[in-house]
Amino acid sequence: MAKGNRNNNNNRNRNRRGDFSGNYTKRNTETVKDCTYKEGITVKELAEKIGKSPAEIIKFLFMMGQMVTINASLDDETIQLIAMQYGIEITKEESEEENSLEDTEEDDPKDLEPRAPIVTIMGHVDHGKTTLLDNIRKTHVTASEFGGITQHIGAYQVEVKGQKVTFLDTPGHEAFTAMRARGAKMTDIVVIVVAADDGVMPQTKEAIDHSRAAGVPMIVAVNKIDKHNANVDKVYSEMADYDLMPEEWGGSTMFTKLSAKSGLGISDLLEMILLQAEMMELKANPNKKATGTVVEAKLDKGRGPVATLLVQNGTLHTGDMIVAGTAIGRIRKMTDDKGMEIKSAKPSTPVEIIGLDSVPEAGDHFKAFENEKLARKIADERNKQKIESERRTTAAMSLDDLTEQIKEGNVQEVNIIIKADVNGSAEAVKSSMEKVNVDGVKVNVIRATAGAISESDIMLANASNAIIYGFNVRPSAAIKKAAEENGVSIRLHNIIYKALEELEALMKGMLAPVYEEVVTGQATVKQTYKVSKVGTIAGCMVDDGVIKRNSGVRLIRDGVVIYTGVVGSLQRFKDSVREVNAGYECGLTIERFNDIKEGDIIEAYENQEVKED
């Protein structure tokens, strides 16, 4: 979201706040005229602008039947509704600064036409996702397209009974979650593939969690039914345990049995997809400039930046001026998933294009523009914004933010991921946590499984603003780092009631994370070397624990702390390393400090959040 903008606006908004708080009267017409907003304004921003609390606006919208979060963007109609409620006149700024690439224009219902569903296939490794994608593609290209060169561009479209279905060709939930974390909403339906000879496995569950968190309907494809040891009933019952009850068993989830390898049952799956799509009444407006998402992009030696775009609304034409992420350019050539050159692409069509000046990222939005000058301006603005946001640490909602939000009454639900040493305890923690309800704020456990905290947990937490609770598990250094980078909070506990107490405190908005210093290791300086440009390198023996690069460090001489700083470089022989354990020699420098002597003690420490065990 437009973080840069928000900051720029803050001061102005604050000045205005007084104008609108309390007793607004019609006489204030001057100020009223001045009250404008930009496309994509969030609840929080609007609240500041009109001098109301975000909670008040959220509550008002709730009463009007709209559930929104504090960071949700509001559409024009809703903004006018809010303005009316408070007797404020507010107008939209036809701003030159508007630089969102999202499709924010309201479409007239009479312009809408049905569009193909966009499908992602997920499931456990080796359960047959790739085989299924390949087989669908091989067997369902229309007769006229036979002979066309099929090429993998990250997505493809097939025709079933005269209707089109678009498949995203990167199986697995990593791509899905990564895109979702970047705000891309590309999938209408998820097909969960489960091998009948293997049953529900960890990644099956993860795929279900991800689809649920994204609110995308699922169809379960029970694969490999050709195998002699296929056990469909077992899959059904395992899925039922996971709250996906087959229609055959009186539930409401669509299940289908197939063999991705032989092709048996694939047409049933496709029909089910069409059925699901029909229920969803997926529509788009082909009669305007295109908007959509970048599926993948690369730099091709001969052709320059090449991007696969998925048109989600409007129609994309060759020659169109587009901005994709921070890249800009005129589409020189457009090809479809069969390698055929095309001149235009309607909603739900994946196309490969060339003509961009740089390589956008998967998950970036793109938009086509009538006006080249405007496109350039927007691309410029977005580039600046990107640089600015890279400087800040972009992160999911931190614990502090969350606590603040809860205090202000803007959060109705706290998302939690539970990882425990054994499945039983994950379940036990889940059921206790779900009972926690503080002043109407509820706990929503989006995943509870046994095992170490994984990269995928971090991704899910990031995408869903969730907190990770670990029970008798300890995250690895890599995971800790990933969590830090993504602004994901990990809480570690051994005792359930302690965790519950903490969660309650957090939900009452009272929890402030406490940091404490933990000494990680100690080393003795054996020798020193002076190297020009680098400074003094200390040749050390690690006596205890571990010394890590970038960790805090104290230089102790005769029991007195001489200097406190940060480990600069850390080396084993000629190689730069991240950490060195007890019993090994290493060379290290201390940032901005050279007065190291033989016999000095180096103590490394880290600031860790206090765990309440």
CA distance 51 to 346: 43
Under a CB-based contact definition with an 8 Å cutoff, are residues 40 and 2 in contact? yes
Residue 260 CB, shortest distance to ligand GDP, in Å, is 4
Q: What is the DSSP letter of 376?
A: H
How many CA atoms lie less than 13 Å away from 152 in the CB half-sphere? 7
- Considering beta carbons, is residue 226 or 609 the nearer one to ligand GDP? 226
Q: How far is the CB of 266 from ligand GDP (least distance, A)?
A: 10
Q: Which is nearer to ligand GDP, 92 or 227 (CB)?
A: 227
Residue 122 or 492 with smaller CB distance to ligand GDP: 122
DSSP H or E run through 451 = none
**Between 9 and 170, CB nearer to ligand GDP:** 170
What single string gives the DSSP state of each residue in 91-121?
EE---S-----S--SPPPGGG-EE---EEEE
Say how far apart CA 129 and CA 123 lie, in whole Å: 7
Structure tokens at 490: 């990990």
- Rounded to the nearest whole angstrom, what is the least distance from the CB of residue 259 to ligand GDP in the complex? 4
CA 402 to chain centre: 17
Least gap, CB of 132 to ligand GDP (angstroms) = 7
- In terms of DSSP H, where are the helices of 281-398? 372-391
**CB under 8 Å to 95, separation ≥6 — which residues?**
38, 39
Return the structure tokens found at 223: 């694969």
Nearest-approach distance from CB 264 to ligand GDP, in angstroms: 8
Residue 261 or 288 having the CB closest to ligand GDP? 261
List the structure tokens of 327: 């890249």
In Å, the largest CA–CA distance within the chain is 85
Instruction: For the CB of residue 276, give the shortest distance to ligand GDP in the complex, in Å.
Output: 21
CB closer to ligand GDP, 155 vs 411: 155
Minimum separation from the CB atom of position 137 to ligand GDP (A): 13
Q: Which position has the token pair 């690690």?
A: 542
Least distance in angstroms from the C-beta of 129 to ligand GDP: 3
> Reduced to 3 states, what is the DSSP secondary structure of residue 329?
strand
- Nearest CB to ligand GDP, comparing residues 259 and 489: 259
Pairing state between β 575-576 and 560-572: antiparallel
Q: Which is closer to ligand GDP, CB of 259 or CB of 348?
A: 259
Taking the complex as a whole, the smallest distance from the CB of residue 298 to ligand GDP amounts, in Å, to 22
User: Which C-beta is closer to ligand GDP: that of 141 or that of 194?
Assistant: 194
The smaller minimum CB distance to ligand GDP, of residues 200 and 443, is found at: 200
Per-residue tokens: 483: 């969590």
What residues make contact with ligand GDP under the rule CB under 6 A?
123, 125-131, 171, 223-224, 226-227, 259-261
Whichever of 40 and 171 has its CB closer to ligand GDP, that residue is: 171
Q: Residue 114 phi/psi, 5° resolution?
A: -60, 145
| Closest CB 442 distance from ligand GDP, rounded Å | 35
Closest of 396, 361, 463 to residue 101, by C-alpha: 361
Least distance to ligand GDP from the beta carbon of 452, Å?
Answer: 22
Distances from the Cα of 269 to the Cαs of 59, 246, 248, 256, 525, in angstroms? Answer: 42, 14, 15, 6, 67
Q: In what order do the strands lie in the sheet with 413-420?
A: 437-438, 441-450, 413-420, 467-471, 490-493
From CA 573, how far away is CA 576, in angstroms rounded? 8
CB atoms under 10 Å from CB of 504, counted, come to: 16
Which pair of tokens denotes residue 311?
A: 């048109």
The DSSP line for 528-596 is EEEETTTEEEEEEEEEEEEEETT-EEEEEETTEEEEEEEEEEEEETTEE-SEEETT-EEEEEETTB---
Q: Name the minimum Å distance from CB 584 to ligand GDP.
A: 40
- Residue 191 or 466 with smaller CB distance to ligand GDP: 191
Q: Residue 109: CB partners within 8 Å, gap ≥ 6?
A: none
Of 224 and 382, which has the nearer Cβ to ligand GDP?
224
Report the nearest approach of ligand GDP to the CB of residue 554 (Å): 50
- Are 498 and 562 a contacting pair, CB within 8 Å? no
